[in-house]
Amino acid sequence: MKELIENMQNTFESFENDAKMQLESGNKAAGTRARKSSLALEKLLKEFRKVSIADSKK
């Protein structure tokens, strides 16, 4: 679970950096990377939910 949380943090940092670049400088490629990171983050959050529920049932 610790590894999952670290992966979520890294993915969010990537998303945040790319989103800022798109917003501040209009970088279209950064916008594409931000959207890709948001999808990856969504998958990680779903996985976290599964793991968290499984741990709470122990």
Query: For position 55, what pLDDT does the model report?
Result: 92
Q: What is the mean pLDDT of each run of 10 residues along the chain (58 residues)?
A: 95 97 95 97 97 91
Query: For position 29, what pLDDT does the model report?
Result: 97
- Rounded Cα distance, 32 and 47, in Å: 23
Query: For position 4, what pLDDT does the model report?
Result: 95
Contacts of 19-25 spanning 24+ positions with Cβ under 8 A: none
Query: For position 58, what pLDDT does the model report?
Result: 80
What letter would DSSP give residue 57? T
Q: Phi-psi region for residue 15, left (φ > 0), alpha (ψ -120 to 50) or beta?
A: alpha
pTM across the whole model = 0.85
Structural contact between residues 37 and 8, judged by C-beta atoms closer than 8 angstroms:
no
